[in-house]
């Protein structure tokens, strides 16, 4: 009865260990699917700005990014590339003419086309004559449609229709006013700004302030392409340098890093329980040999190989491990199926566990077999001098 009880406790411990370790591996994959995985092919975009403090408020040379700042960020191991924003140094406004009766002051920014999430070519995104192509944030269009237009009784605009509208862009450079035709050519989900061709914007800035051509460049913001927005090293460097970014991106990054930390702790606990169970298995086999010492000695005298005796017992435990693993993976697979079907997954999770986890049914019992077999055989030869 005592042996049965001990066996139940032993296999229950193994079951818990396998559940903890294997479920952590699957949850790690699920977290990467939900939050994005860290790899050389991963692309995350963050817009860096400097935190406003009483010391730098109103001082562009302190609030902006100089060339040294840009070079420093570019050399961070977590960063793949960096794209500085150019901002307008002149006064600009827009009105809708007779079609949409509105007037607003404007700000423009310029950015390398490679960093903008549109399919435009350089030819499509360049100023031609008095026509300026414009890319705006998709959020801006949504704000107009669901906020401004509804409240002011103005017509709502679809994305396709917005690309057909031409607005008047009024630019003042050196007290000279010039009107351009602004046409939206794309919407950006990545960048919350009003973008015009960088080369055109820089030429207007030089015309408005010629001294900019000889002064060190200062950028209000920079767009940074990183390998993983949840990298603790990246977040630490941003905090150290007083950089800020989209809080939602950083919030999800912090959640991801804390989740991974919890998973690692649970996995370590599972490995510890598994190691403890292995120790119990080895001790259990030793006790079996001690209880049957006379029988083993007789078998050895008759030519029965000690190695064969140890191998038979090791095989028995390995087969038992295989059954426990199968049961553990079956429960994890069922849990994965229900999680993937739930609203939490948002359709991002697979209904099946990682196929590599099933290989544990073969790999772990084989490793345990050789480990126990060698350990017990050495103990048997050394202790009993067979």
Residues 203 and 259 in one domain: no
Q: In this structure, are residues 220 and 49 in contact, taking their beta carbons and an 8 Å threshold?
A: yes
> Is there a single domain that holds both residue 183 and residue 299?
no
Expressed as residue numbers, the domain containing 22 is 2-37+251-384
The torsion angles phi and psi of 44, rounded to 5 degrees, stand at -125, 145
Pairing between β-strand 44-50 and β-strand 109-110 as defined by DSSP bridges: unpaired
pLDDT digits (tens, 9 = 90+) for 34-43: 665 554 445 5
Pick the more confident residue, 154 or 190.
190
Q: Are 28 and 137 within one domain?
A: no
Listed range (85-89, 240-244, 361-365, 368-372) with the worst mean pLDDT: 368-372
Q: Is 28 a domain residue?
A: yes
**Domain-terminating residue out of 163, 183, 212:** 212
110 lies in some domain: yes
106 and 182 both lie in a single domain: yes
As a whole-number percent, the residues of the chain with pLDDT over 90 amount to 17
The CA distance from 212 to 222, in Å, is 19
Averaged pLDDT, 112-141:
90
Q: Which of residues 212, 229, 259 is at a domain's end?
A: 212
User: Do 270 and 367 reside in the same domain of the chain?
Assistant: yes
What is the spatial distance between Cα 136 and Cα 163, in angstroms, rounded to a whole number?
Answer: 11
Question: Looking at the domain assignment, is residue 53 inside a domain?
Answer: no
Average pLDDT over residues 232-261: 74
- The residues near 354 (Cβ < 8 Å, ≥ 6 apart) are 25, 26, 29
In our burial notation (b when 16+ CB lie closer than 10 A, e otherwise), range 52-78 reads: eeeeeeeeeeebbbeeebbeebeebeb
% of the chain with per-residue pLDDT over 70: 83
Q: How confident is the model at residue 248 (pLDDT cuts 50, 70, 90)?
A: low
- Are 267 and 200 in a shared domain? no
Q: What is the pTM of this model?
A: 0.61
Q: Of 212, 243, 261, which marks where a domain is finished?
A: 212
User: Looking at the structure, do residues 119 and 203 belong to the same domain, yes or no?
Assistant: yes
The answer, yes or no, to whether residue 99 has pLDDT greater than 50, is: yes
The strand pair at 222-226 and 79-84 is best described as antiparallel
Classified as helix, coil or strand, 304 is coil
Indicate whether 385 pLDDT > 60.
no
Residue 26 shares a structural domain with residue 150: no
Long-range Cβ pairs for the range 116-119 (8 Å, 24+): 116/186, 116/188, 116/190, 116/191, 116/195, 117/188, 117/189, 117/190, 117/191, 118/185, 118/186, 118/187, 118/188, 119/186
Q: What is the pLDDT of residues 279-319, one digit of tens each?
A: 777 777 777 666 666 666 666 666 566 667 677 777 887 88
Per the structure, how many domains does the chain have?
A: 2
Kindly indicate the confidence band of residue 119, based on its pLDDT and cuts at 50, 70 and 90. confident
324-357 tens-digit pLDDT? 889 988 998 988 888 888 876 767 778 888 888 8
pLDDT of residue 110: 93
SS3 letters across 161-199: HHCCCEEEEEEEECCEEEEEEEEEEEEECCCCCEECCHH
Q: What is the pLDDT of residue 41?
A: 46
Q: What tens digit of pLDDT does each residue of 194-245 get?
A: 999 999 999 999 988 888 888 888 898 999 988 776 677 788 888 888 888 8
Tell me, yes or no, whether 294 and 379 share the same domain: yes
Could you tell me if 374 and 315 lie in one domain?
Answer: yes
Residues 91 and 179 in one domain: yes
Q: For residue 84, what pLDDT band results from cuts at 50, 70 and 90? A: very high
340 & 263 share domain: yes
In a domain, 78, yes or no: no
Rounded CA-CA distance 90/208 in Å is 6
């Amino acid at each position: 009865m005592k042996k049965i009880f001990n066996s139940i406790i032993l296999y229950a411990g193994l079951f818990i260990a396998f559940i903890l370790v294997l479920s952590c591996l699957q949850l790690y994959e699920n977290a990467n699917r939900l939050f994005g995985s860290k790899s050389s092919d991963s692309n995350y975009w963050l817009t860096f700005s400097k935190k406003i403090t009483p010391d730098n408020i109103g001082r562009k040379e302190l609030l902006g990014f100089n060339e040294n700042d840009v070079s420093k960020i570019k050399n961070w191991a977590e960063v793949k590339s960096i794209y500085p924003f150019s901002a307008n140094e002149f006064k600009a406004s827009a009105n809708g003419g007779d079609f949409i009766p509105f007037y607003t002051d404007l700000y423009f920014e310029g950015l390398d086309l490679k960093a903008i999430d549109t399919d435009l070519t350089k030819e499509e995104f360049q100023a031609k004559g008095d026509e300026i192509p414009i890319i705006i944030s998709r959020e801006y269009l949504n704000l107009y449609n669901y906020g401004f237009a509804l409240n002011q009784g103005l017509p709502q605009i679809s994305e396709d229709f917005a690309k057909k509208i031409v607005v008047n862009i009024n630019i003042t450079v050196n007290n000279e006013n010039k009107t351009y035709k602004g046409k939206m050519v794309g919407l950006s989900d990545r960048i919350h700004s009003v973008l015009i061709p960088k080369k055109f914007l820089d030429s207007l800035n030089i015309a408005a302030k010629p001294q900019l051509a000889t002064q060190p460049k200062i950028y209000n913001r920079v767009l940074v392409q990183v390998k993983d927005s949840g990298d603790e090293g990246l977040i630490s460097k941003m905090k150290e340098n007083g950089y800020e970014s989209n809080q939602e991106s950083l919030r999800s990054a912090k959640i991801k890093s804390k989740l991974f930390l919890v998973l690692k702790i649970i996995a370590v606990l599972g490995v510890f329980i598994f190691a403890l169970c292995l120790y119990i298995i080895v001790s259990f086999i030793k006790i079996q040999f001690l209880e049957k010492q006379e029988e083993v000695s007789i078998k050895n005298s008759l030519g029965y190989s000690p190695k064969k005796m140890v191998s038979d017992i090791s095989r028995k435990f390995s087969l038992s491990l295989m059954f426990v693993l199968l049961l553990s993976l079956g429960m994890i697979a069922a849990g994965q199926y229900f999680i993937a079907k739930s609203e939490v997954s948002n359709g991002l999770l697979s209904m099946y566990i990682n196929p590599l986890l099933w290989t544990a049914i073969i790999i772990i019992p084989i490793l345990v077999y050789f480990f126990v077999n060698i350990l017990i055989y050495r103990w048997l030869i050394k202790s009993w001098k067979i």
